Every structure is written in structure tokens, then in C-alpha cells.
Amino acid sequence: MTGKLLGILLLCSYIFYDSLIPAMLLFVPAFCFFGKKEVRKLIRQRKEKLKREFLTETSLLNDFLRSGYSFENALRASEKELLELFGKDSDMLREVRLMCSGFALNRTAEESFLDLAGRADVPEISEFASVFTLVNRSGGQLREVIRASADNLTAAFSVEDEIRTMIASKKMEQAIMDIMPLGILLYVRMASPDLLNVMYTTITGNLIMTVCLAVYAAAYFWSEKIMDIHM
């Protein structure tokens, strides 16, 4: 991220001010701002990954329970399947192994799911943990609850995938529109170097270019906000 950010700042500084000094002055605050934004993005991606792995886990539990396994044995059996599907670095695999280890310490499954829900901060997992706890304590049909949860999660992910497909082309258009102003100005600078000299050699020109840069930045962040759709 650091190299990409520095490159963009240097390009903008060259295009709008014909100097690299503004890029150096803005690098630290820009790095802090975009660094936090990148961290939030990575957290969202990890939650999304965990949510999809959790869907697979509920489907596996549903299959094993329908085959006559007890819940504890179904959870243990799903461990091998998760390893084959997602590899040893899977977050859900680690959680399942933690749950299985908890059984040896007399920790109940509902305690494990509630603990996972609290740490993961994923609405779907929290809802499942709440329903699972309620049904397990009341002696309800646990298999039916897990089956219904797997079906609901599958339907929700299907809708989310359709939405992502619909906005994928819009995001591509957004990326093109983000690049076009810089591309046009860079072309003008390379093709007719003297055309924009007045913008770099006078106070009025510098102010105009600063306003243009501010409008460009505002348009960029506005488009990012519009396209930032959380599932």
C-alpha cells in the first residue's frame, strides 16, 4: 500500500503543482488515513471469509446430523472436511478445533458458539448462537434449527452474490472515472507543457489547481462512499 499511495501522491503533486514537495508533506497524514481504511477493509474481508466458512460448517453439521451423528460427533467429523476445503489456516477450522477441545473440559457447545459470536462480531453467527442456545436449553429440534440456519445462510449468500455481480461493472466504471481526470491532465502536460505553466507560476493559478484537486478528491471519496456497500 505504501508504494501505491506514494506513487499516487507524487503523480497528483506533479500534475497539480509541478512540484513533489506537496506529496512529501501529505504523505504521513494520507498514510494514516488510508492505513486505517485498509485495516477496516481487511477486517471486513476476514469477517466475510469467516461467514462463508460458517455457512459451510452449518451445512456439514446438517449432513452429519441427518446421518445419525450426535452434535459433538458431527462437530468432530466436520473438522476433517473443513481442513480439506479451506486448509489449515481456516478461521472456522480453528474455532471447531477449539470447540472440540472444550468438550474435554466440560464446556458446552452453546458456550462455545456464544464465545465465537462475541469474538467474531458477525450478525449471522450471533443469530445462530442465540437460536442454538435457546433451542438447546429448551430441548427443541436441534437438527431442524441447524438445517433451517444452513438454508437461510445459503439463500442470503445467493442474494449477496447477485448484488456483487450487479455492482461489479459499476465499480469498474468508477475506477475508470477516477483515473480519467489525472490521465487527461497528464496528457496535456506531456503534449503541451507550456499550456499549464500559468497554473504553476502564479498564486491565482495555484489556488485554482488547489480547488480542482479538492473537487477531484471530494468526487473520489463520494464515489467510494456510494459504492461501499456492506453485505
**Residue 214: inside a domain:** no
Q: How confident is the model at residue 21 (pLDDT cuts 50, 70, 90)?
A: confident
Q: What is the pTM of this model?
A: 0.74
The share of the chain scoring above pLDDT 70, in percent, equals 97
Tell me whether residue 150 is in a domain: yes
What single string gives the DSSP state of each residue in 175-201?
Answer: HHHHHHHHHHHHHHHHH-TTTTHHHHH
93 part of a folded domain: yes
CB 95 within 8 A of CB 125: no
User: Which pLDDT band, with edges at 50, 70 and 90, does 211 fall under?
Assistant: very high
pLDDT tens string 157-197: 888 778 878 787 788 888 888 888 888 888 888 888 788 88
74 inside domain? yes
pLDDT higher than threshold 70 for residue 139:
no
**6 burial type by CB count under 10 A (0-12 exposed, 13-18 middle, 19+ buried):** middle
For the residues 69-79, what does the mean pLDDT come to? 86
CATH number at residue 84: 1.20.81
Q: Which residues span the domain enclosing 143?
A: 47-160
Q: What is the C-alpha separation between 1 and 34, in angstroms, rounded?
A: 9
pLDDT tens by residue, 180-190 = 888 888 888 88
Looking at residue 1, what is its pLDDT? 64
Question: Quick one: average pLDDT of 191-216?
Answer: 86
Whole-number Å distance between alpha carbons of 227 and 166 = 12
Q: Is residue 29 in a domain?
A: no
C-alpha distances out from residue 13 to 27, 71, 198, Å: 11, 61, 16
Total structural domains within the chain:
1
Asked if residue 121 belongs to a domain, the reply is: yes
Residue 127 lies in a domain: yes
- Residue 59, pLDDT > 70, answer yes
Residue 227 lies in a domain: no
How many residues are listed for the chain in this entry? 231
